[in-house]
Amino acid sequence: EQFAKEKKQIQTIFGTLEYELTRNFRELEQLNAEVIHKGGKSTRWEQEELSGKQRYLKGFLQQQTHELSQRYTKATAQSNEERLQLQRERSRLSWD
């Protein structure tokens, strides 16, 4: 239960981070588009750099979210197995 709560919190944080990064990249793209429209030649290269960074960060966040999910799933399964093992041991004890 605690694992599920922590997992949800971290997923929310990652989601918020991804949203903010996307929003900020869009703002930069709009600013670059304005500069390009006004004749800024080096800005085209900067826009391509920005797009590459955006793709990298998005992929990185998706990878981290996936790995986090796998780790929590594994930790939850391990915790459940330990709990079941303790319950089995407890039920084998004699209660006098």
For the stretch 39-87, pLDDT in tens is 767 777 788 888 898 899 889 988 988 898 898 889 888 988 999 999 9
pLDDT tens string 14-39: 889 889 988 998 898 888 888 878 77
12 part of a folded domain = no
Tokens of 32: 């670059």
Question: Does 7 reside within a domain?
Answer: no
**Does residue 92 form part of some domain?**
no
Q: How many folded domains does the chain comprise?
A: 1
| In a domain? residue 84 | no
d(CA 3, CA 7): 6
Calculate the alpha carbon distances from 30 to 27, 33, 34, 88 in Å.
5, 5, 6, 62
Nearest Cα to Cα of residue 18 among 69, 65, 80 = 65
Q: Where are the beta strands (DSSP E) in 27-68?
A: none
pTM of the model: 0.62
